[in-house]
């Protein structure tokens, strides 16, 4: 029996359904299913939320990354720096755009790319860097932008896990040439299926992404004029309605995530369990609550036996994934070690305080075993 689920999407749906039901009906009766007013209004709301001038809705977060690279002219012969600890799509989008990922190691504290690891990954072929706001928080953006600037490379934010995150009071999405969001259902802002967006304050870049996502049609051109070879990666109206409906609750849901994370942090640090650190000046929106523990797989299995669902983000760093190994260039020790230890605990806006306590109590019961395996791994 599940006592603490990893997430609860249906609770969000139940909360927003009364406000979106009539909007769904009118959209279905209007017949504007792809693009149209619901998409345009969500795009305006999302750009405003991120502090950018433009948002372009696309089919998913991976397409957002790939279309951004292509729209920026990054392709064959180019290299793009990607942190080793991220969801595989960050690196896969680079490959799909025709470029080569260069993997950077991460901070042992935050598990995010650092100015030093970025600098170490840059070569004369590097055209861009993907800064990933993993787990919901942003690294030192001023320092990273300074390294990128000095090297003359483009900055793209992979903000798929960082809806509403901030660094020094500025929102995720507003730092790079463009930023890419995923609205996969489990993300902090999630649709009822796949969806994504690119945000930018460069109007020509927004136009180019929009054209690429819509069969290469430019604004103002007729339905059968195609100025570039594009693809079909549009946002559906039914997804945009869900997203606008949920956006109205996002700040409250984020605050609840932050409060639950504080409860976890207090309980777990008493037990000596190490959480991923909060980066200086970052507003962490806790897409994931990640701890590090020796004997991770055993801990995870025992939690599972007690009905507590967990995740691992990510068990294999990108540079060791079989199709990406050919881009790897030596070991990345911090990311490789962390991949053995990372464990994501349940955290979602409708989680109760009691569920946090249940999870922490269960971990507390296992602590003797956890410490023993830590001694074991140190001894080796
Ligand atoms: C979810 C995610 C993506 C991909 O988004 P999809 O919408 O699933 O294609 C890319 N990068 C990161 C960091 C993600 O978490």
Sign of CA dihedral 134, 338, 264, 183: positive
**Ligand 1: centre distance to CA 183 (Å):** 8
**Ligand 1: centre distance to CA 180 (Å):** 9
**Ligand 1: centre distance to CA 353 (Å):** 28
Structure confidence at residue 313 (pLDDT): 98
Structure confidence at residue 371 (pLDDT): 67
Best of 184, 190, 285, 288 for a ligand 1 pocket test (most atoms within 8 Å of beta carbon):
184
Across the beta sheet with 166-167, the strand order is 170-171, 166-167, 282-283
pLDDT-flagged residues of the chain (< 50): 378-380
Burial class (CB in 10 A: 0-12, 13-18, 19+), 284: buried
CA of 62, closest atom in ligand 1: 9
What is the distance between the alpha carbons of residues 105 and 118, in angstroms, rounded to a whole number? 8
**Ligand 1: centre distance to CA 64 (Å):** 9
What is the distance between the alpha carbons of residues 281 and 175, in angstroms, rounded to a whole number? 15
CB atoms within 10 A of CB 131: 28
Structure confidence at residue 272 (pLDDT): 78
CA of 134, closest atom in ligand 1: 13
To 5 degrees, how large is the angle CA 73–CA 78–CA 83? 105
What is the distance between the alpha carbons of residues 189 and 12, in angstroms, rounded to a whole number? 10
Structure confidence at residue 319 (pLDDT): 98
User: Which helix (H) or strand (E) covers residue 344, if one does?
Assistant: strand 342-345
Provide CB contacts within 8 A for 330, sequence distance 6+.
none
**Ligand 1: centre distance to CA 63 (Å):** 9
- Residue 130 · residue 82 · CB < 8 Å: yes
3-state DSSP assignment of residue 90? helix
3-state DSSP assignment of residue 19? helix
Facing residues of 155 across strands?
129
What is the distance between the alpha carbons of residues 82 and 99, in angstroms, rounded to a whole number? 12
What is the distance between the alpha carbons of residues 296 and 310, in angstroms, rounded to a whole number? 11
DSSP notation for 184-203: -TTSSS--SS--EEEEES-H
Among 49, 282, 39, residue whose Cα is nearest residue 144: 282
CA of 63, closest atom in ligand 1: 9
Report how far apart, in Å, the C-alpha atoms of 48 and of each of 41, 53, 200 are. 11, 7, 11
Query: From the DSSP assignment, how many helices (H) and strands (E) are in the chain?
Result: 11, 13
Best of 182, 183, 191, 290 for a ligand 1 pocket test (most atoms within 8 Å of beta carbon):
182
CB atoms within 10 A of CB 19: 14
Facing residues of 167 across strands?
170, 282
**pTM (two decimals):** 0.96
- Residue 231 · residue 210 · CB < 8 Å: no
Among 151, 160, 141, 145, residue whose Cα is nearest residue 90: 160
To 5 degrees, how large is the angle CA 144–CA 149–CA 155? 65
Provide CB contacts within 8 A for 207, sequence distance 6+.
218, 219
3-state DSSP assignment of residue 95? helix
Structure confidence at residue 374 (pLDDT): 58
Percent helix, strand, coil in the chain (nearest 5)? 45, 15, 35
Facing residues of 343 across strands?
291
- Residue 43 · residue 248 · CB < 8 Å: no
């Amino acid at each position: 029996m599940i006592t603490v689920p990893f997430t609860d999407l249906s609770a969000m749906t139940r909360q927003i359904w009364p406000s979106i039901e009539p909007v769904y009906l009118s959209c279905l009766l209007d017949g504007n299913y792809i693009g149209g007013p619901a998409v345009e209004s969500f795009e305006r709301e999302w750009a405003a939320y991120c502090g950018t001038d433009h948002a372009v809705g696309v089919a998913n977060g991976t397409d957002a990354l790939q279309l951004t690279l292509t729209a920026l002219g990054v392709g064959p012969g180019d290299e793009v720096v990607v942190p080793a600890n991220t969801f595989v799509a960050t690196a896969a989008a680079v490959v799909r755009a025709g470029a080569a990922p260069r993997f950077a190691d991460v901070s042992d504290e935050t598990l995010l790319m650092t100015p030093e690891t970025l600098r170490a990954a840059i070569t004369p072929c590097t055209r861009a860097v993907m800064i990933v706001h993993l787990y919901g928080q942003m690294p030192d953006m001023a320092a990273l932008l300074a390294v990128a600037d000095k090297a003359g490379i483009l900055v793209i934010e992979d903000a798929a896990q960082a809806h509403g995150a901030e660094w020094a009071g500025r929102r995720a999405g507003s730092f790079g040439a463009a930023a890419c969001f995923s609205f996969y259902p489990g993300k902090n802002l999630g649709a009822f299926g796949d969806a994504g967006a690119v945000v930018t304050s460069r109007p020509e870049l927004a136009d180019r992404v929009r054209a690429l996502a819509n069969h290469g049609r430019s604004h103002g051109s007729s339905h059968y004029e195609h100025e570039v070879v594009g693809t079909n990666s549009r946002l559906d109206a039914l997804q945009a309605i869900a997203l606008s409906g949920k956006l109205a609750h996002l700040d409250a849901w984020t605050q609840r995530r932050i409060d639950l994370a504080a409860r976890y942090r207090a309980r777990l640090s008493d037990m000596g369990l190490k959480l991923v650190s909060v980066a200086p000046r970052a507003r962490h929106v806790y897409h994931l609550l990640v701890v590090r523990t020796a004997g991770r797989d055993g801990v995870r299995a025992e939690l599972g036996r007690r009905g507590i669902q967990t995740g691992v983000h990510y068990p294999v760093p990108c540079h060791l994934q079989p199709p990406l190994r050919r881009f790897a260039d030596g070991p990345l020790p911090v990311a490789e070690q962390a991949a053995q230890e990372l464990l994501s605990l349940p955290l979602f806006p409708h989680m109760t305080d009691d569920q946090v306590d249940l999870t922490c109590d269960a971990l507390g019961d296992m602590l003797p075993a956890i410490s023993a395996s830590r001694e074991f791994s140190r001894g080796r």
